[in-house]
Structure 1
């Protein structure tokens, strides 16, 4: 791809602190898929997953239901999460707002150091961890609890200092049950065994929203009034994952 302004050769805004890959330590099963023979109890646990997924769906917990059903389905194929919906979770909103504010500050600093004028900078948060609060969204907490997210795009600084960031929001999760963990008093080990017995399968959760845009005017343009940074808007139809 042509790069007439050479922005690919310049380190991106906001990259410090982010990971190159979305994977986290421990994102693998205790034993390989299908490494042990299934027992009658394993089949009963798998049946309980399907029943629970149906109950969650009836309760309106559609994201949690879909991911549990996908695990019990055993295909191991990637699962596309509704990243646009996930962006509405308070923890995600705060993380996105923090990164956008950082990009804007770094873009304005470079812009001032480089003699102002119109400038374009790459921006990339790298992969970062995000923890979902159960009280904020029971559905997404049951579905993911935690995940990795990334923002990437370009920041355009106008000659007057107005910053416009065009970007996308990506999510990733290695979906599994960890031996030794539990929630609501229910141990995860029997569910983790389903993968090892080959009757359910871990998978990758992926998702992306593209066409996001964030604009802030030159500092001081609002006569000293400091408003909170708005949430990014979608300039074109999003692609829920």
Structure 2
């Protein structure tokens, strides 16, 4: 049974959901490079940051709102969680197909309640905006009963370790969740 039109309010998370990492779970920020602001800033680092700032503005002007917002948040340097537009994200064909497959597995009795974290790749041909913003996203399906479900998302945003390591930007976790949707 295919899930129809996305209905219900989108509730955007402000904190990352906590769950054990699934085999395809994203790495935590700082996992493969130096911690925030531990390396000296070089003039080329400031040029890269300025280029990223201009790129974020260009993306905004060309309608790439998700990519622009995520890059601007990174450059703001707070490290605070970033809210994803979950209702738009869940409507993307590869995400919708992955969620539908998980719901079919639930209906077959392979799991119930809260799903484990799964990964899905967003290709540039599917959505250049979401590809630039997150590329890969982790999702899980929460199914309190056979008639309703919601989808939660999380992904680390770590595009330029160099800027993070020099304190010119800060990595963060992007999260979001849909409202309860009918099945």
TM range (shorter): 0.7 to 0.9
Q: Which residue of 24, 32, 52 corresponds with 2:26? A: 24
Cα distance in 2, alignment partners of residues 171 and 25 from structure 1: 14
Q: Give the number of the structure with larger relative contact order, counting CA–CA contacts within 8 Å between residues 6 or more apart.
A: 2
> Could you report, residue by residue, the CA deviation over 1:15-50 in whole angstroms, capped at 9, with x for unpaired residues?
xxxx73364347534111111111111111111111
**1:168–1:209 contact (8 Å) kept in structure 2:** yes
Q: What is the CA-CA distance between 1:58 and the residue it aligns to?
A: 0.8
Cα distance in 2, alignment partners of residues 76 and 124 from structure 1: 28
| Residues 51-66 of structure 1: pairs in structure 2 closer than 5 A | 51-66=54-69
Cα distance in 1, alignment partners of residues 32 and 72 from structure 2: 18
What TM-score do you get using the length of structure 1 for normalisation?
0.63
Q: What is the CA-CA distance between 1:72 and the residue it aligns to?
A: 0.9
| Residues 117-196 of structure 1: pairs in structure 2 closer than 5 A | 122-156=112-146, 164=147, 166-177=148-159, 191-196=160-165
Q: Which residue of 92, 99, 120 corresponds with 2:95? A: 92
Match of 2:48 in 1: 45
Q: Which residue of 174, 180, 183 corresponds with 1:205? A: 174
Q: What SS does the corresponding residue of 1:106 show, helix, strand or coil? A: coil
Match of 2:7 in 1: none
Structure 2: gaps (5+ residues): 1-18
Instruction: Name the Cα RMSD after superposition.
Output: 1.8
Q: What is the CA-CA distance between 1:124 and the residue it aligns to?
A: 2.2
What TM-score do you get using the length of structure 2 for normalisation?
0.82
**2:27–2:156 contact (8 Å) kept in structure 1:** no
Structure 1: gaps (5+ residues): 1-18, 108-120, 157-163, 178-190, 215-241
Match of 1:74 in 2: 77
Cα distance in 1, alignment partners of residues 126 and 73 from structure 2: 24
Closer, same or farther in 2 for the Cα pair 1:26/1:170, shift >3 Å?
Answer: closer
